[in-house]
Structure 1
Amino acid sequence: MQKTIKQTASCTGIGITGQTDSTVIFHPAPPDTGIVFIREDLPGKPEVPCRPDYARVEARWTSLVNNDIRIEHTEHLLAAIAGLGLDNLKVSVSSPFIPVVSSFSSRGFVQTLLQAGLVLQDRPKRCFHVKEPVCIINPFFHQEKRYDRFLLALPAPELTLTYLLDYPGKEIPTQLAQFSFDNSFDFASELATARSYITESEYETVFKLIGKSIEDCLILAKGPVDLQWDNEPARHKVLDLLGDIHTMGRPVKGHFIGIRTGHKDNNQLCQKLQMQIKEVL
């Protein structure tokens, strides 16, 4: 059955560009509403529904854009919504930017939504099932040598996400993370708290992009780093993938396998999956 929250709840954090605070307010919504963002700071409070054709990747994060109305940095919030199995929410935003919470993880959003209470609704879930394999392959270069990023979606009865993190320069050890989102999976403890990260060599570039919000980011240097799990970076990649898949606007059933991939690859795959939805409809 579809699911929403019992009561309104909110959380606040710094915007991803590090310039100002931002607040999101979660509101219960009727069945079949889906996930709808509301720009409270703009005249008329325009809405941006969560739809794959609105998804954009123009920086190091995912955004939703409808008629120049922007909702920036959606992946960690949408991962929280997807991980908790929520179908219907109105999400009011006080600025273009979803706030950074809990070291660029989903933990703060999950805590807020759980405090609001989850409630079943009298309508069955509307899921999208991957009908046939879809693959994205994108090349990149490291020290003048070509490598490839792979993202594959396969038919499967439940949502399963697999990620192989494999940096050519081995700045981070190769690691694997895989989770199946069935009734036994504890999203809040196993995945929601996985923090975003950057490598030491990326610091200056990322600082220019996100400013002081970099203070909330896990920086992986050559020395020892206090990780929650040995594969926390790979887990965060799974978290990002979950949030980006949820730009589809409804739960997705399928097995997604990513190797070295990121937001742009996730977005490209969702655009291809959208064509399957159109064919099914």
Structure 2
Amino acid sequence: MQKTIKQAASCTGIGITGQTDCTAMFHPAPPDTGIVFIREDLPGKPEIPCRPEYAQVDARWTSLVDNDIRIEHTEHLLAAIAGLGLDNLQIRLNSPFIPVVSSFSSREFVQTLSAAEPVLQDKAKKYFCVKEPVCVENSFFHQDKRYDRFLLALPAPELILTYLLDYPDKEIPTQTAHFAFGNLSDFTSELAAARSYITEREYETVVKLIGKNIEDCLVISKGPLNLQWDNEPARHKVLDLLGDIHTMGRPVKGHFIGFRTGHKDNNQLCQKLKMQVKEELCT
């Protein structure tokens, strides 16, 4: 069955660029509404539904964009919504930005939406189902050597995400993370709190993008790290992938396997996937 929340709730934090405080206010919505963002700071309070045709990646995060109306940094909130199995919400914003919370993880969003009491609704849940394999293949160069990356979606009876993290210089040890999303408690305890990270060589580039938010970002250096799990970086990649997949606008059934991939690859796959499953829904 579809699910919404029983009562309104909100999260406040700093926008992704580190320049302004912002608030996301969550409200219940009727069955078949989907996830709808509302820019209350703009005349007419324009709405952007969470759909793949509005998803794009301009920097190091995913946004929803309709003409000049933007919803910035959607992945960690959408991961929380997907992980909790919520189908119908209004999300009212007082700026273009979804606030950064809990060290760029989904933990505070999960806590807030859980406290708002998720409730079942009287309509069956509708899924996008991967019907046949879909793959995105890209590459990058590091020190004049080419490295490949790929993201593959396969049919599966539930949502399963697998990620292999592998940096050319091994700034982070090669590691994997694998999750099947059939158990809400596993998502809450084992994935939602996985923090975003950068490597030391990325620091100067990233600080120009996110300003003082860099203080809440896990920086991977040669010294000892206080990781929550040995594979926390790979777990965060799974969290990002979950949020980006949810730009499809509905829960998805399929097995997604990523190797060295990021937001741009996730978005490319969703654009391919929407053509396959445009009107093909499953229960």
TM interval, shorter chain, is over 0.9
| Cα offset, 1:189, TM superposition | 0.8
The 8 Å contact of residues 55 and 64 in structure 2, kept in 1 or not, is answered as yes
Size of the alignment, in residue pairs? 281
Task: Output the amino acid matched with 1:114.
Answer: S
Q: Deviation of residue 88 (structure 1)?
A: 0.2
Structure-1 separation of matches of 2:184 and 2:212: 38
- Structure 2: which amino acid aligns with 1:122? D
Which amino acid letter does the alignment assign opposite residue 123 of structure 2? R
Rounded Cα–Cα distance in structure 2 between residues aligned with 1:273 and 1:187? 24
Unaligned runs of 5+ in 2: none
Q: Classify the secondary structure of the residue corresponding to 2:103.
A: coil
CA distance in 2, matches of 1:178, 1:278: 27
- Corresponding residue for 1:93? 93
Cα deviations by residue, 1:26-84 (Å, 9 ceiling, x for unpaired): 00000000000000110111000000000000000000001210000000000000000
Residue 28 of structure 1 corresponds to 28
Q: CA deviation at 1:3?
A: 0.3
What secondary structure, in the 3-state scheme, does the structure 1 residue paired with 2:11 have?
A: strand
Cα deviation, residue 184, structure 1: 6.5
RMSD: 0.9
Distance 1:40 1:54 in 2: 19
**How does the TM-score come out when normalised to structure 1?**
0.99
2:253 alignment counterpart: 253
Q: 2:195 maps to which residue?
A: 195
Kindly indicate whether residue 143 of structure 2 is the aligned counterpart of residue 143 of structure 1.
yes
For residue 133 of structure 1, what is the aligned residue in structure 2?
133
Q: Any gaps of 5 or more consecutive residues in structure 1?
A: none
1:278 Cα shift?
2.6
- Using the alignment, how far apart are the partners of 2:87 and 2:144 within structure 1? 45
Measure, in 1, the Cα distance between the counterparts of 2:107 and 2:185. 16
Distance across 2 between alignment mates of 1:184 and 1:43:
38
In 2, Cα distance between the equivalents of 1:140 and 1:255?
25
1:197-253 per-residue CA deviation (whole Å, 9 max, x = no partner) reads 000110000001111111110011100010000000000000000000000000000
After superposition, residues 1-281 of structure 1 pair within 5 angstroms as 1-183=1-183, 186-278=186-278, 280=280
Retained in 1: the 8 A contact 2:83–2:184? no
Q: Does the C-alpha gap of structure 1 residues 85 and 175 become closer, same or farther in structure 2, counting only changes over 3 Å?
A: same
Identity %, equivalent residues: 82
Distance 1:184 1:70, change over 3 A: closer
Preserved contact between residue 128 and residue 280 of structure 2 (Cα < 8 Å): no
Amino acid paired to 2:126: R
User: Under a length normalisation based on structure 2, what TM-score does the superposition of the two structures give?
Assistant: 0.98
